[in-house]
Amino acid sequence: MANLITGYNAICNIGQNIDEIYKNAISGMDSCFDCIEDIIKGTTLRTGRIKTELKEINNPDFNTRCNKLILKNLELLESNLKELFKKYKKEEIGVIAATTNTGVEEYETTKNKNLAQQGNPSLFVKEYLNLSNYHTTVSTACSSGIKAFSLASDLLDSDFLKAVIVVGIDAISKLPLFGFNSLEILSSKPSNPLSINYTGINIAEAVCCFTVEKEENTTSGIKILSIGESTDTNHFTTPDPEAKEAKAAILEALNKANLKPSDIDYINLHGTGTLANDTMEARAIYDIFNNTVPVSSTKQLTGHCLGAASALETAMLCKLLDNFEGKLFPHIYDGCYNPNLPKIRLVKKDELFKKCKICMNNSFGFGGCNAILILGK
């Protein structure tokens, strides 16, 4: 039996809810960024910020931008949560959060160590919803979101839980900005994945919340068909250019779902717009799918949301599967494909397609933490 995503919503720079995000992403909106100059001296950064009013959290151990964004997103998911609480006891529901930063920004000023702990977001959700079972936070850099779904699936499959609330969250903070700047991959220009004129990444923030249940307990939702995972040891921040373990994760996901490469209707790329990622990912896609399966990166639209990145892209794929009307998310770049990369099938803006029933989400985190998620209508 599969596990189902029965509820989902999200907030990011291109939308205050998943409907807005979907509408703007399908149209290829790539202008929702700010250029800031007040964080790194002498450096202009292009960032994707969420612009919405947030409520203060009275408990000083939880009063972070990350948790305020989670609270805003849980309000969007209110009807799904009510249904969940009707079906299951509070001790049958767990919480898994995916993040990298938590409250590290707020810790600098408050010195409250609770804010900087990785487990802070999941503990906040557990206490806010008055739950009484398992909670944890997953942090495997960019792949954290899919890794959270992997753990959720394991807990459901083992009957340890009846339902899981999965949260992906990261807010813009100085620590990762300085870190990525030291790697010389931040850009003041739009990200340009798979182009010969690659520029680097644009850091952004996002929050996404999901309810996940066992198929036997629900009648509708998006199926988690499979998850493939692998780890490579090429370098802490640079993926293996031959993509050996990335391909292993993709093939594992396909095999676990009993699918052929041709069964995949669309692939959302990790697509960071750095030469190292483009080289690895284009090789992995070409070697398995050739140039036949439509692919695109949506990070030119949403920015790179760090620990929330693959969770945001999962929410976008859920909406795509629910709302497919002939269009996929376009690959927005300057059109100058890098001739040193194998040619893969990029989705063009306003291009029409006949079907979209099975999607793949690629995510490759620092340290070679590779995760592939396949979703089905």
State the Cα–Cα distance between residues 221 and 180, nearest whole angstrom: 37
Do 229 and 196 belong to one domain?
no
pTM of the model: 0.96
Q: How confident is the model at residue 235 (pLDDT cuts 50, 70, 90)?
A: low
Residues 348 and 328 in one domain: yes
Confidence tier at 367 by pLDDT (50, 70, 90): low
Domain end position, chosen among 201, 217, 233: 217
CATH of the domain at 92: 3.40.47.10
Instruction: Considering only residues 165 and 176, tell me which one the structure prediction assigns the higher pLDDT.
Output: 165
pLDDT band at 236 (very low <50, low <70, confident <90, very high): low
Is residue 197 domain-shared with residue 244, that is, in the same domain? Answer: no
Q: Given 195, 217, 239, which residue is the final one in a domain?
A: 217
Asked if 209 and 230 sit in the same domain, the reply is: no
If asked whether residues 208 and 300 sit together in one domain, one would say no
Tell me, yes or no, whether 74 and 199 share the same domain: yes
Q: How confident is the model at residue 181 (pLDDT cuts 50, 70, 90)?
A: confident
What's the pLDDT band for 242 if we cut at 50, 70, 90?
Answer: confident
Which domain covers residue 229, as residue numbers?
225-376
Residue 310 shares a structural domain with residue 176 = no
The domain total for the chain is 2
| 248-272 pLDDT tens trace | 999 999 999 999 999 999 999 999 9
On whether both 276 and 213 belong to a single domain, the answer is no
How far apart CA 146 and CA 311 sit, in angstroms, is 6
CA-angle at 186, arms to 109 and 182, nearest 5° = 65
Same domain, 119 and 252: no
Q: What is the pLDDT of residues 34-83, one digit of tens each?
A: 999 888 888 899 999 999 999 999 999 999 999 999 999 999 999 999 99
Closest CA to 152 of 316, 311, 309, 12: 311
Q: What percent of the chain has pLDDT over 90?
A: 84
Residues 191 and 268 grouped into a single domain: no
Q: What is the mean pLDDT of the chain?
A: 94
